[in-house]
């Protein structure tokens, strides 16, 4: 059977399938329905310096082939994460990528320093799709200079792989990816959720307290593929693809677009059997095409250029 090993964003992953941040909790909640060791890597729920309660309900809505979420970065905070969540992952046979978010470059760096002390942290993913308090809530990920500043601050204190997660809600995502590259990131993760909303036609209002919310799921796959392709064709920085993948076919599309690995988000809710099925289908696909590993498939794609 074909080997699914990949090198992605500075990590050796036993397979190119990761759990996306916020879509697999702290890694253990779904066990044994979704065994964490299935994944090449697990990206944790985004951790902030202090615990956050997040937004009031409703936090979810369903859309055509997608969903909206307004969780509001609910998380236990860094201390509790280090004390309770991280140690519990000790025996998980997947790389652990800790997603972090904070209000300033300095705070990001402080978190990174503390996380660097823990060997179980294989990599960091900086979630910048969050507001810059200093800049009147403007999203960090929409501002190449902010991305570069945060990336550099973390880079100074964190030597293991650093991924920067990008928002699709920008005019030119490759510009932001270049800023991440300049900051020394090992990869960019693309994409976070699209800005979206729903309306209740009785009240005429959004169901969400924050009005807008984040769109994810199969509906956004074409947008995510375009984002990955636009970043990858510049050849500057590796990408980790995320957004709407729900099958081996979707995962392969990301790899063909240029991603080194692919994260699964919404599909972990809509179909918890997907991770196992995707691994099986990936191996079957490679075997059927006579490839013993993913690189061989990549080479074939290149030759057809």
Partner 1 sequence: MSGELSAAYRSGRVRALKRDGLYYHLSMEAPGLAPSEPGAFFMIGLGEIESPAPDPLLMRPMSVLNHDGDFVDILFKVVGRGTELLAAAEPGDSLRLLGPLGRPFSRAAQPQPILVGGGAGVPPLCFLSRRLSAEGIAHRVLFGFNSADDVPDSALSKLSQEPEIFTLDGRRGQKGHTVAALAGDREAGRIQACGPGPMLEALKKVRQPGEAMELSLEERMACGMGFCRGCVRPVATGDDWRYATVCREGPVFDADDLVDVNEAGEVCLQEEGSCG
Ligand X SMILES: Cc1cc2nc3c(=O)[nH]c(=O)nc-3n(C[C@H](O)[C@H](O)[C@H](O)COP(=O)(O)O)c2cc1C
Catalytic residue list: 130
Q: Which is nearer to a second copy, 1 or 203 (CB)?
A: 203
Per rule CB under 8 A, is residue 130 in the interface with partner 1? Answer: yes
Pick from 13, 34, 42, 245 the residue near ligand X by CB under 6 A.
245
Per rule CB under 8 A, is residue 300 in the interface with a second copy? Answer: yes
3-class SS string, 154-201: HHHHCCCCEEEEECCCCCCHHHHHHHHHHCCCCEEEECCCEEECCCEC
Using CB under 6 A as the binding rule, the residues of this chain from 255 to 294 that contact ligand X are: 264-266
- 282-286, Cβ contacts within 8 angstroms, sequence gap of 24 or more: 282/2, 282/4, 282/15, 282/16, 282/17, 282/248, 282/251, 282/252, 283/1, 283/2, 283/4, 285/248, 285/252, 286/2, 286/4
Per rule CB under 6 A, is residue 185 in the interface with ligand X? Answer: no
Q: From the list a second copy, ligand X, partner 1, none, which binds 170 (C-beta under 5 to 8 Å, kind-based)? A: a second copy
What is the C-alpha to C-alpha distance for residues 219 and 212, in angstroms, rounded to an integer? 17
Q: Which is nearer to partner 1, 119 or 305 (CB)?
A: 305
Per rule CB under 8 A, is residue 46 in the interface with partner 1? Answer: yes
- Helix (H) or strand (E) holding 274, with range, is helix 274-288
The CA dihedral of 237, 241, 243, 247, to the nearest 10 degrees, is 160
Per rule CB under 8 A, is residue 64 in the interface with a second copy? Answer: yes
Residues 261 and 205: beta-carbon distance below 8 Å: no
Q: From the list ligand X, a second copy, partner 1, none, which binds 88 (C-beta under 5 to 8 Å, kind-based)? A: none
User: Where does residue 26 rank: exposed (0-12), middle (13-18), buried (19+ CB within 10 A)?
Assistant: buried
Pick from 83, 210, 234, 301 the residue near a second copy by CB under 8 A.
301
Using CB under 8 A as the binding rule, the residues of this chain from 48 to 87 that contact partner 1 are: 52-62, 64-67, 69-74
Per rule CB under 6 A, is residue 167 in the interface with ligand X? Answer: no
Determine the interface stretch with ligand X among 4-12, 67-75, 131-139, 201-209 (rule: CB under 6 A).
67-75
Q: Supply the minimum distance, in Å, between the C-beta of residue 24 and a second copy.
A: 22
Q: From the list a second copy, partner 1, ligand X, none, which binds 137 (C-beta under 5 to 8 Å, kind-based)? A: partner 1
Per rule CB under 8 A, is residue 246 in the interface with partner 1? Answer: yes
Which residues on adjacent β-strands are paired with residue 260?
none
Q: Supply the minimum distance, in Å, between the C-beta of residue 267 and ligand X.
A: 6
Closest to 239 in 3D by CA, of 305, 186, 297: 186
Report in angstroms the alpha-carbon separations of 284 from 215, 249, 254: 31, 12, 18
What is the C-alpha to C-alpha distance for residues 94 and 65, in angstroms, rounded to an integer? 29
Q: Which is nearer to ligand X, 94 or 192 (CB)?
A: 192
Q: Supply the minimum distance, in Å, between the C-beta of residue 174 and partner 1.
A: 11
Q: Supply the minimum distance, in Å, between the C-beta of residue 254 and ligand X.
A: 10
| DSSP reduced 3-state for 27 | coil
Per rule CB under 8 A, is residue 104 in the interface with partner 1? Answer: no
Using CB under 8 A as the binding rule, the residues of this chain from 165 to 204 that contact partner 1 are: 167, 169, 192-196
Residues 47 and 200: beta-carbon distance below 8 Å: no
By CB under 6 A, name the binding residues for ligand X.
20-23, 45-46, 69, 71, 73, 99, 127, 165, 192-193, 216-217, 220, 242-245, 264-266
């Amino acid at each position: 059977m074909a080997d699914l090993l990949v090198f992605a964003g500075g990590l050796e992953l036993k397979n190119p399938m990761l759990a996306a941040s916020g879509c697999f909790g702290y890694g253990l909640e779904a066990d044994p329905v979704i065994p964490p060791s299935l994944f090449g890597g697990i990206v944790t729920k985004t951790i902030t310096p202090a615990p956050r309660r997040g937004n009031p309900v409703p936090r979810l809505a369903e859309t055509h082939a997608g969903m909206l979420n307004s969780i509001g970065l609910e998380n236990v905070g860094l201390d509790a994460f280090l004390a309770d969540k991280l140690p519990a992952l000790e025996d998980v046979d997947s790389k652990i990528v800790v997603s972090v978010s904070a209000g300033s470059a300095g705070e990001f760096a402080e978190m990174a320093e503390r996380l660097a002390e823990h060997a179980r942290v294989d990599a960091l993913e900086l979630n910048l799709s969050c507001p810059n308090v200093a800049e009147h809530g403007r999203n960090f990920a929409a501002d190449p200079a902010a991305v570069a500043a945060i990336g550099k601050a973390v880079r100074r204190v964190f030597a293991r792989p650093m991924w920067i997660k990008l928002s699709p809600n920008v005019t030119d995502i490759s510009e932001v990816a270049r800023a991440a590259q300049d900051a020394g990131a090992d990869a960019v993760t693309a994409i976070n959720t699209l800005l979206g909303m729903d309306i209740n036609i009785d009240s005429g209002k959004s169901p969400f307290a924050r009005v807008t919310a984040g769109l994810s799921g199969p509906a956004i796959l074409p947008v995510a593929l375009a984002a990955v392709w636009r970043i990858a064709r510049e050849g500057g920085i590796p990408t980790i693809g995320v957004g709407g993948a729900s099958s081996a076919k979707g995962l392969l599309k990301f790899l063909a677009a240029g991603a080194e690995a692919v994260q699964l988000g919404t599909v972990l809710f809509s179909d918890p059997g997907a991770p196992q099925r995707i691994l099986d289908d990936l191996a079957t696909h490679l075997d059927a095409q006579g490839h013993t590993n993913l690189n061989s498939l990549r080479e074939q794609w290149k030759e057809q250029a």
